[in-house]
Amino acid sequence: MNQDARIAISRRKWMAGALAVGGAAALPGLAWADTYPSRPIKLAVLSTPGALGDILSRILAKHLAVQLGQPVVVENKPGAGGHISHEYVARSAPDGHTILFGANQVFALGPVMFKKLGYDPATDLIPVGYYNQGMHWLITNSAVGVRNLDEFIAYAKAKGSAVNFGSGGIGHPLHLYAEQLQAGFGTRMTHVPYNGMTPAIQGLMTNEIQFLVTGVSDTISHVKSGRLQVLATCGSVIPELVPANVPHLEATRPDLAYPGWVGIFVPKGTPDSIVNRLNAVLNQLADNPAFQKEQQDTGNVPLKGTPQEVKARLAKDMKEIGELARKLNLGA
């Protein structure tokens, strides 16, 4: 037997032994590719039941279940500006059976807004891929009596801190953006944080707060009924969902562009084969007309990208959004 043959036999024996002794841990990604998923998948989301994030996560769960052949169960974990859901996934087993519906602003705001987190946003979660970017509304209660954004800004300047704006909680993605708007408008409204967007919308309906940035599907029925007034849109542009005579904010104020997007993340240490499979499914869904229609109906547009592209964009956003939060004095 020549030396090359002996090397080939030795390599085969080593591979067989490694698989027998260590399984997937011995050869990361080798065995996982054929067995994942082996049980139902949990999809953690920062939203309260019925809020836009909850609706979007359930749309995704339905399609992932079809593609992956296992049920995908949505777990609502609101609170702490989204970090309860993030920490929950970060502390889960890195086997692809617990995944995160995560917003880029939550990653960026955590180190700024909270003195202590139970996980490291920069290292404990790894990107799988993009999910979407949404169109949002700047909205007020019709009882305020303003007809457009300029009138609302004048009203807010005149009333000062007596005007309240809401968010889904301190450090919530839409908290930062509302603060960014306030700085850009030159107003001094008072922030009222809620435990999720559903109670924030209820606060707007009762006029406890007079201003809110919210997703389209969260409030469209109240806009159609006339109880809420849309002042402007921001983020993605979906013309059929824009009320008549409502401007797109970024068209005249590019400095106030909405920075948010949503991606899917898993705990660090998750095998590349699982990350790549989930990424492939997400990108396939982004090209699926039925999925695109469901996204559009909720005011969102699917995004596509590799894990590496999402990682690079997230790192950039964490730096820039973090700097913005500090400039707005939002630190803990």
* pLDDT single digits (tens) 141-168: 999 999 999 999 999 999 999 999 999 8
Cross-strand pairs, 141: 228
Where is average pLDDT lowest: 74-78, 142-146, 214-218?
Answer: 214-218
Return d(Cα 93, Cα 159) in angstroms, integer: 51
pLDDT band, residue 174 (cuts 50/70/90): confident
Nearest to 247 by CA among 236, 235, 231: 231
- Average pLDDT score, the chain: 88
Q: What pLDDT shows up at residue 13?
A: 42
Mean pLDDT, range 54-71, rounded to an integer: 96
pLDDT exceeds 50 at position 12: no
pLDDT band, residue 275 (cuts 50/70/90): very high
39 secondary structure, DSSP code: S
Mean pLDDT, range 85-96, rounded to an integer: 97
pLDDT band, residue 325 (cuts 50/70/90): confident
Domains of the chain: 40-134+262-327 (3.40.190.150), 135-256 (3.40.190.10)
How do residues 231-250 score in pLDDT, each as one tens digit? 999 998 888 888 889 999 99
Return d(Cα 212, Cα 220) in angstroms, integer: 13
How do residues 181-198 score in pLDDT, each as one tens digit? 999 999 999 999 998 888
Q: What pLDDT shows up at residue 328?
A: 84
pLDDT exceeds 50 at position 11: no
Nearest to 324 by CA among 103, 109, 114: 109
pLDDT band, residue 42 (cuts 50/70/90): very high
Q: What pLDDT shows up at residue 95?
A: 97
Q: What pLDDT shows up at residue 33?
A: 53
Cβ count near 332 (within 10 Å): 10
Return d(Cα 212, Cα 263) in angstroms, integer: 23
Return d(Cα 67, Cα 86) in angstroms, integer: 24
Return d(Cα 330, Cα 324) in angstroms, integer: 9
Return d(Cα 302, Cα 292) in angstroms, integer: 7
pTM of the model: 0.80
Enumerate the H helices of 125-172 as residue ranges: 149-159
More confident: 208 or 34: 208
Q: What pLDDT shows up at residue 66?
A: 97
How do residues 290-321 score in pLDDT, each as one tens digit? 999 999 999 999 999 999 999 999 999 999 98
Return d(Cα 324, Cα 83) in angstroms, integer: 19
